[in-house]
């Protein structure tokens, strides 16, 4: 239970810091835009893309696929090869459940990563570079 609480606190802090970073960026961008309007100078186009938060979803899909595949393969390796080789006491009845949970979680992550990789190959690879920030 404590692990879930720690994970929730970490996610909350990450979301708050991410929001604060975006707000700080927008505040600086608005100040820069105000100065540019006063001087009559146009802002570069890439700054406008950053301010409107256009996301290159093809890069996001590829990144999620690679991370999921690496974590999933790691979980399968831990569950299938590393943990069974460790010495366990005879009283530890939960050891097979630990192996199975690592192995099953790893397989789920591998399947998720393969799905994202297939989506990237079939759909998103064609969209790479439409926002000007490809992989």
The better pLDDT of the pair 24, 95 is held by: 24
Question: Does residue 94 share a domain with residue 36?
Answer: no
Question: What predicted TM-score, i.e. pTM, was given to this entire model?
Answer: 0.55
The better pLDDT of the pair 135, 16 is held by: 16
Token readout for 39 is 């001087």
CA 76 – CA 20 distance, rounded (Å)? 37
Judged against a pLDDT cut of 50, whether residue 13 lies above it is answered with yes
- The number of distinct structural domains making up the chain is 2
Question: Does residue 78 share a domain with residue 43?
Answer: no
| Average of per-residue pLDDT values in the chain | 78
Q: According to the per-residue pLDDT averaged within each range, which of 13-22, 29-38, 63-72 is highest?
A: 63-72
Picking from 29, 53, 77, the residue at the C-terminal end of a domain is: 53
Question: Does residue 73 share a domain with residue 101?
Answer: yes
Q: Which of 67, 61, 70, 68 is nearest to 135 (CA)?
A: 61
Alpha-carbon torsion (72, 76, 77, 83), positive or negative: positive
The values of phi and psi at residue 55, to 5°, are -110, 135
Question: Does residue 123 share a domain with residue 75?
Answer: yes
Structural domain span for residue 103: 54-135
Three-class DSSP category at 114: helix
Question: Does residue 90 share a domain with residue 41?
Answer: no
CA 26 – CA 127 distance, rounded (Å)? 27
CA 22 – CA 16 distance, rounded (Å)? 10
Question: Does residue 62 share a domain with residue 4?
Answer: no
Question: Does residue 22 share a domain with residue 72?
Answer: no
Question: Does residue 72 share a domain with residue 20?
Answer: no
Please report the pLDDT score of residue 19 as a whole number.
86
Residues 78-115 pLDDT 10s = 878 777 776 665 566 677 777 778 888 889 999 999 99
Question: Does residue 32 share a domain with residue 73?
Answer: no
CA 102 – CA 108 distance, rounded (Å)? 10
Whole-Å CA distances, 97 to 37, 44, 114, 132: 64, 57, 25, 47
Overall average pLDDT of the 10-26 stretch: 86
Judged against a pLDDT cut of 60, whether residue 130 lies above it is answered with no
Question: Does residue 59 share a domain with residue 121?
Answer: yes
Question: Does residue 60 share a domain with residue 35?
Answer: no
Question: Does residue 134 share a domain with residue 78?
Answer: yes
The better pLDDT of the pair 25, 127 is held by: 25
């Amino acid at each position: 239970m404590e692990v879930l609480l720690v994970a929730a606190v970490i996610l909350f802090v990450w979301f708050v810091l991410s929001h604060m970073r975006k707000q700080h960026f927008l505040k600086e961008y608005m100040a820069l835009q105000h100065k540019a309007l006063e001087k009559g100078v146009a802002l570069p186009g890439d700054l406008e893309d950053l301010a409107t938060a256009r996301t290159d979803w093809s890069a996001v899909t590829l990144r999620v696929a690679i991370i999921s595949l690496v974590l999933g393969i790691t979980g399968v390796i831990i569950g299938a090869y590393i943990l069974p080789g460790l010495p366990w006491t005879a009283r530890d009845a939960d050891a097979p459940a630990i192996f199975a949970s690592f192995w099953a979680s790893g397989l789920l992550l591998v399947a998720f990563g393969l799905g994202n990789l297939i989506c990237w190959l079939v759909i998103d690879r064609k969209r790479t570079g439409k926002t000007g920030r490809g992989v």
